[in-house]
A and B are shown apart, each in its own frame.
Chain A
């Protein structure tokens, strides 16, 4: 099925101002990582994903048009960016978009790219890339934002740490309005990274994360390590203070003490 083209009408520096809109697709990330070539900054939006997924192929459930599901394709023109920059750029961009739509909400970032409202997860980001040898060939940033789901949805899915914009805010913005705002912020932050030192991105991220200095645990798939969230490394890693010893972690699930996330 060929997609509908939506013009954002935004003035963008890096991303494409046309959105490819599918009613239904297996996964927007899979589509962009497939064999077709795409121009830099292509955005693909889907009302429904038949095989939406998260990290380690965890299923990302979406009822039709209750979530904003889209992916952004970037190619080697951005080759000088370190891979991990995209995780942080995506997270701060969604954060800033939501902040501009609903300034009163209690937003937070959790390492590295979870977006929380009132300590519950409202948005998941999955960045995937292809590397051959040491050459990065393509990058896809997949974003799934819960917008209209009700309490029952999260109860049925067993997601007690999940929430939607509708549950936490009085926002009545359409999915497209929210999408445009995220595209705009992503474009601005990609340009910020390109034109300045990437540390500006990390600086922003840290200012949006209230958990630095707090007790956390990281589950790296083999063991669960408790400690104090000390800082973010210049390489994007999370630095955890475990009994006075600082350790860098590059992967794992972080949980914050006394919260459900």
Chain B
């Protein structure tokens, strides 16, 4: 399929932020452009609200919302990406956090650990002041221990998950003020 045809098809299904979407698609190596276009077509032409497929390293969700069709390309739980997801999912865009309240989300699906070992003290507690780059927790997936560093400096005001709890992609773990 030629890029002009892709653009045309995307226009037909009212995908917003087209340039960003294409740029994003290009940046994810293990990603098949035709695949998402097929999904867009399927959603458009059938009585389906949403389709989600997972492929090695990527997760693609195409959802129909208030008569429009949008395609959201999610970083898979495991794919680190530089841009945030570009389009709202079927639940709409979550409200932007105010400048003082910041959320730390998990970039992967896995198990949350608050400490480096079962008998060790937690990395952080509510009320602790953390600096950017400080380890907040470990998320384990497929025996990979992923240390999550704080993207911000500030005070931990909430810890929303319990030790050893399974977490879903993009789940909020900490609230930092």
Question: Which positions in A face B, CB cutoff 8 Å?
Answer: 55-57, 79-88, 112-113, 125-137, 197-199, 202, 220-222, 233-237, 250-252
Contacts and interface: CB of A to CB of B under 8 A. Distances in A.
Contacts of B77: 82, 235
B141 A197 contact: no
10 contacts: A55-B145, A82-B57, A112-B143, A113-B143, A126-B145, A199-B56, A250-B111, A250-B140, A250-B142, A251-B142
Contact of B80 (A88, A135, A222): A135
B39 interface: no
Contact of A134 (B107, B133, B150): B107
Interface stretch (B2-10, B17-25, B113-121): B113-121
Contacts of B28: 80
The 9 residue pairs across chains A and B that have the minimum distance between CB atoms: A82-B78, A57-B117, A82-B57, A136-B80, A198-B56, A251-B111, A84-B142, A133-B151, A132-B149
Contact of B149 (A84, A131, A222): A131
B147 A129 contact: yes
B146 A83 contact: yes
A57 to B, nearest CB: 3
B164 A250 contact: no
Nearest to A200: B56
| Chain B residues touching A, range | 35 or more
B70 interface: no
B78 A134 contact: no
Given A80-B28, A197-B30, A87 B117 contact: no
B36 to A, nearest CB: 16
B109 interface: yes
B134 to A, nearest CB: 10
Contacts of B109: 235, 237, 250
A251 B141 contact: yes
Nearest to A129: B146
Q: Identify the interface centre among B56, B59, B111: most chain A CB within 10 Å of its CB.
A: B56
Q: Identify the interface centre among A133, A198, A250: most chain B CB within 10 Å of its CB.
A: A250
Contact of B82 (A112, A130, A135, A137): A135
A83 B118 CA distance: 23
A220 B111 CA distance: 9
B55 interface: yes
A74 B117 CA distance: 24
Contacts of B166: 220, 250-251
Contacts of B145: 55, 126-129
Given A221-B111, A250-B141, A234 B56 contact: yes
B92 to A, nearest CB: 21
Interface string B85-115: 0000000000000000000010111110100
Contacts of B30: 80, 82, 197-198
Given A130-B149, A131-B107, A133-B151, A79 B142 contact: no
Contacts of B172: none
Nearest to A237: B142
Contacts of A237: 109, 142
A40 to B, nearest CB: 15
A220 B80 CA distance: 25
Given A56-B113, A132-B133, A235 B140 contact: no
B29 interface: yes
B140 A85 contact: no
Nearest to A193: B30
Contacts of A87: 142-144
B31 to A, nearest CB: 9
B81 interface: yes
Nearest to B168: A250
